[in-house]
A and B are shown apart, each in its own frame.
Chain A
Amino acid sequence: MLPEVNVMAMSAVARDTVFALRRQIAKIEGTLPERLQAPAPGAPIHATGSGMTPDMTIIRRGLAVAAADAFLHTGIERLDTALGGGLPKAALSEIHGLETRDAGTVAGFALSLVSLILKERQGQPILWVGTAEIFHEAGLPYARGLSALFGIEPEQLLFSEAPKLLDALWIAEEAARMTAFAAVILEIRGSPQRLDLTATRRLHARAQSANRPVLLLRQAGEADPTAAPVRLIVSAAPAASRETVAGPLAGSIGHPAFKVDIGKSRTALPGQFTLEWNPDEHAFAERTENSVAVVPASQRGADPAPASGAVLAFPALASSAIGDQPSRQQHPAHRGPRRAG
């Protein structure tokens, strides 16, 4: 799995040239842009391990070097690191909810990602494709709620309700190849047979060529084979209390919180994160303690710092950066077979 080549230290100019050439080769070969980051030219130099120089980059066969801006940074360094730089922007990403009643949470998480995307593509519309079944079971996204929470204006929203799964896939494929949408969300309930590797591959390829993200929301679906490089499993987390001048207000329901598991990622082992969405700043904050956070997000800047500098693509090495997972007693429900994928 890991045929690797060490590119030893060389001059900055030569390194740039090499990366440019590699990207070109990858483009010609039509391979996936992978999460091998080009180290920033001015990257801080310190050794991350014995015998490893900061210039070291690991190349996996058939994988190309991705540009640094190919990832959507969630703002949570630990999660970004675990995902190898963030959520790929020009790709299909799967977001799973374990049950249909999690639809609100999954939709909320997807929309917060969209909200982050919209910071760069202001005012661009987003398309939400769903089957009639899911809109009936889980409700239609409510424009008034979205504008307050995620800053997505009603006129930016476009829904498409397809009677059947095949139609939904067709709409999503057609939309994914367009550059006019900031993001396309496809929402499917259950594990239909048609939503197989081929279907996801088609979506992924279109997202790549259009350089736009496609989010596939799977409500109550199995961890089927997928072409999406990243699969996140989102479930609800108790919200923090509301902040008032006199401190947190007991018994109130504050900012939305999500429990995010990495179900599939080419660079990371499964990990779990608890994120809180800040609707005022449109940014995520991580909740490190497992109890309900009462400290305002802005004061809690010091997340456990992950290893900085060049990031290695070894799953084994990356797992060390994931670190402190919540203890299992507190999350017995998420002990399930989450690693499939």
Chain B
Amino acid sequence: MISHRDNNTQRIAALDERAEALKLKRGMGIADARAMHPSIDVVEADPEADRRLLEGLADWCDRYTPLVAIDAGDGLFLDVTGCTHLFGGERAMQDEILTRFFQQGFDVRAGLASTPGAAWAAARFHGNRIVAGGEEEALLAPLPLSALRIAPETRASLESVGLRTAGAVMAAPRAPLARRFGAALLLRLDQALGRLDEAVSPRLPVAPLSVERHLAEPVTLTDDIERLISRLAVALKADLERRGEGARTLALLLFRVDGAVSRIAVGTSRPLREPRLIQKLFHERLTALEQNIDAGFGFDLVRLSVLSVAAFDLTQGDLTGEADDDDADIALFADRVRARLGEAAVLKPVVVESHLPERAVKTVPFAEAPQRRAPAAGRTAPPRTAPPMTIYPPERPVRLFRSPEPIEVPATEIPEGPPMNFRWRRALYRVARAEGPERIAAEWWRRLPGEEEAPTRDYYRIEDSEGRRYWLYRQGLYGGAPEAAPPRWYMHGVFA
């Protein structure tokens, strides 16, 4: 028996058959129940866990239809339109669902109707009934008002005027009903009777394309799964070709025998439809996830879905049949690395207009970086005409530290000059030569109002006594306001 706190009272939220046999009811106070039967076992309700369980069940129900919605805290809507024939008709499908749930230890009621409202009522008030189209009215008429999915207050006021069944409400004139009880009542009624469409909002976006394979014998080995993927990808290819599209995001759904569902997604940086490549991507992903996928007693349904698509540009191969498309190779390589090591495993530098060295180059994940434009064959790009340079661009280091590292500078030759020696990572360096300073001020136009202006930096190129070249900077100036912090020195990069 499960209790929950409602208006400062512990009440029974749910109870099992044996508790029901003791004439206990939902909504009864725990104190009363304990007084009647002191030996009852009461457990605190855990809505979070219930929700998780329901999500898990919804995942599992994905095997019947991609349109699964969670209904309140205790129900699932499955839009099986067009799916029933795959399972041998409505009756067979419902039976299978119920059998499977029963085997997993759930006591489930199901109702199948042409409207969500009627199915809801059928599941809750009849149990395992299949309502043919047009029978909704007959189904609903004898049922109590709670079958209409209306707010408890509306129900109470309807009951207070003597309308106790759905049939009575249907028979009553509509205009006064709407005036007195609000439009929601008639909306629910019309939806249940199929006069108005009701959309079931699925919890997951519906994949444009999916192929799946039911397995008589569950598979556990990764190799077998990969083999299945390539078979499914072959089937997928035909569909993608028909649509003239390629997959950008693919998801693999593995339905375990005991109901757990693993969802594995891979992204591609360019539209893909080649089964071999799809299989390769999943190979990397599965290798990376090897420890995280628990095959348990095996997977009995494997589904490959295309979650997002993009137009697929056809390219003419040359007659030798070995058109080496380097960009495509690199994109595939990057996808494979990403599939295995995560989104940030392949980075591309993008030059940004900025004076600040750390902002002037941004490294972005490969998939988000602008694609290199393939040079058109036979036409060479005009050489970049640089403006005549009278001032040489300032030299930049070959490596830049992620964040500038503080260094100790005991003394500088002149107050604003380069250091004579410095201590970096606990080693002392003697400065042999120095160039600079190059003054880089903070970008005031980026400063947020109220934010303090960052001090300017004076950059120096330094060569130490052993010939290594560094890029140091001093933040702040000497001889500023007495309360201002003294300037600090940082190591920002190294030159070749």
Contact = CB atoms under 8 A, between A and B. Distances in A.
A95 to B, nearest CB: 13
B116 interface: no
A311 interface: no
Contacts of B393: 148
Interface stretch (A11-19, A66-74, A236-244, A297-305): A236-244
A105 B366 CA distance: 27
Given A111-B496, A124-B326, A160-B345, A178 B398 contact: no
A171 B396 CA distance: 29
A139 B400 contact: yes
Interface string B345-367: 11111110000010011010010
A236 B466 contact: yes
B433 A142 contact: no
Nearest to B338: A160
Given A104-B495, A253-B435, A277-B496, A154 B397 contact: no
A144 B360 contact: yes
Nearest to B331: A180
Contacts of A197: none
B contact face: mostly helix, strand, loop, or mixed: mixed
B341 A140 contact: no
B336 A123 contact: no
Interface string B310-354: 000000000000001011011001101100110011111111000
Given A104-B468, A237-B467, A142 B435 contact: no
A48 to B, nearest CB: 37
B345 A146 contact: no
A162 B349 CA distance: 16
Interface in A194-249: 235-239
A133 interface: no
A181 interface: yes
B398 A236 contact: no
B463 A144 contact: no
B402 A236 contact: no
Contacts of B329: 178-180
Interface string A103-117: 111011101100000
A161 interface: yes
Nearest to B397: A145
B66 interface: no
Nearest to B424: A101
Interface in A250-265: 251-253, 256-259
Contact of A139 (B337, B351, B375, B402): B402
B111 interface: no
A157 B351 CA distance: 11
B363 A175 contact: no
Contacts of A143: 349, 351, 361
Given A143-B349, A144-B360, A174-B336, 17 more contacts: A104-B399, A104-B468, A105-B494, A108-B495, A136-B402, A138-B399, A139-B399, A139-B401, A140-B363, A143-B351, A157-B348, A160-B345, A161-B344, A179-B326, A238-B467, A252-B435, A256-B496
Interface of A: 101-105, 107-109, 111-112, 123-125, 135-136, 138-146, 148-149, 154-155, 157-163, 167, 170-171, 174-175, 178-181, 235-239, 251-253, 256-259, 277, 333
Interface of B: 324, 326-327, 329-330, 333-334, 336-337, 340-341, 344-351, 357, 360-361, 363, 366, 372, 375, 393, 395-402, 425, 427, 432-435, 461, 463, 466-470, 493-496
